[in-house]
Amino acid sequence: MKIITGIQSSGKLHIGNYFGAIKPILEYQEQNNELFTFIADYHALTTSADPATTKQNTIDAVVDYLSLGIDPHKTTFFLQSDVPSLMELYFILSKFTPMGLLQRSHSYKDKIDKGLTPNHALFSYPVLMAADILMFDIDIVPVGKDQMQHLEIAQEIARKFNNEYGEVFTIPKMIVNEETAIVPGINGDKMSKSYGNTIDIFQSEKSLKKVCSKIITDSTELGSPIDYKNSNLYKLSALFLNENERIDLQKRYLSGNEGYGHFKMYLKDLIYSYYSDSMARREHYLNNMDEVYTILDIGAEKANSIAFNKMKEVRKAIGLGIR
């Protein structure tokens, strides 16, 4: 089974990225799957204009992925921009993408409402996402709830192409993890760099404490039971706990013996402990960047080999070229 996942190199990784995209990859790595994991630096251009920032964000994303446990021996790990054929497929697929299909995109409308400048790259984001998936004949795409519509668009584009030219593309299916599909940010909205409400993974303990203290809670006073079911603070803590630990934490919330200040510091301790090994690996990679570049070169070679053969098939199907 072929599985793919990617993440924009648009800033520091946060725990929403981890539970929504990275943790599932770590689990798939231990199964008998053919994995593709990439840093979506083309996609990142929709929200980044400064070249130096774009480059640094890409380096950080690569190092962070490796530090969190992505194993280049178990997944084809590459930069999106190292596979230029994706842009060719992106253009070809645009022919099979009705304008109305993109105009109905909830994600595009939401980003515009949040203040991002409308442009074609942002509008046609789902088409490039479709190219990312269809290029490698992916069977399964793990997605968050906010990405479900994008995958439905990819499915529709693939069907339209196949209906006209034969079974060229595999129709991908989606897997949605209902428990972690949407991780709340410190203000209760979906955690997103675009919304400025993230809890970054790699930061000092002092900085992490400051961020956790900003998590918005209700006005329940110390001594009163706290409704954990509607608490974003509890939901964030529960991500790091097993079932028994969650039950114990629920009892603490209901006891009235502790207030939100206690639980914010508890969350800080959970996060810092959970990622301590990853922090050590990150230091190693930052001090050995040649190792990182070699990993990317190997991944790019694998991805380009597959893309080359796929594009030969696509070009032949639509009549491009005379040789």
CA distance 36 to 235: 30
What parts of the chain have a pLDDT lower than 50? none
- In order of their start, the domains of the chain are 2-183+288-318 (3.40.50.620), 203-274 (1.10.240.10)
C-alpha to C-alpha distance for 131 and 3, rounded to whole angstroms: 14
Residue 118 vs residues 54, 74, 263: alpha-carbon distances, Å: 19, 38, 40
According to the model, what pLDDT value does residue 179 have? 57
pLDDT in tens, 57-100: 999 999 999 999 999 999 999 999 999 999 999 999 999 998 88
- Record the pTM: 0.85
**What residues are paired with 190 via a beta bridge?**
184
pLDDT of residue 181: 57
Q: How far, rounded to the nearest angstrom, does the alpha carbon of residue 291 sit from its chain's CA centroid?
A: 24
Active site residue 190: yes
Residue 135: half-sphere exposure toward Cβ, Cα within 13 Å: 28
pLDDT of residue 24: 86
Tokens of 107: 């994600």
Which of 180, 106, 177, 182 lies closest to 142 in space, CA to CA?
Answer: 177
pLDDT of residue 55: 92
Catalytic residue among 193, 264, 268, 310: 193
Give the pLDDT score at 195: 85
Is there a contact between 127 and 96 (Cβ–Cβ < 8 Å)?
A: no
Task: Encode 255-277: b = buried (16+ Cβ within 10 Å), e = exposed.
Answer: eeeeebeebbebbbebbbeebee
Nearest CA-CA partner of 46 in 123, 134, 138, 150: 123
28-34's contacts with Cβ under 8 Å and 24+ in sequence apart are 28/3, 28/142, 29/69, 29/70, 29/71, 29/74, 29/75, 33/1, 33/2, 33/3, 34/1, 34/2, 34/3, 34/76
Are 140 and 172 spatial neighbours (Cβ–Cβ below 8 Å)?
yes
Closest by CA position to 15, among listed 177, 187, 192, 264 = 192
Q: What is the pLDDT of residue 153?
A: 93
Distance, CA of 75 to CA of 210 (rounded, Å):
36
- Which pLDDT value is given to residue 243? 96
| Catalytic-role residue among 23, 74, 190, 310 | 190
What is the reported pLDDT for 177? 67
Of the residues 23, 74, 111, 310, which is catalytic?
111
Burial of 59: CB neighbours in 10 Å, binned 0-12, 13-18, 19+: middle
CA 224 to chain centre: 38
Comparing CA positions, the residue from 107, 235, 232 lying closest to residue 179 is 235
**In a 3-state reduction of DSSP, which class is residue 197?**
coil
Nearest alpha carbon to residue 132 among 43, 264, 223: 43
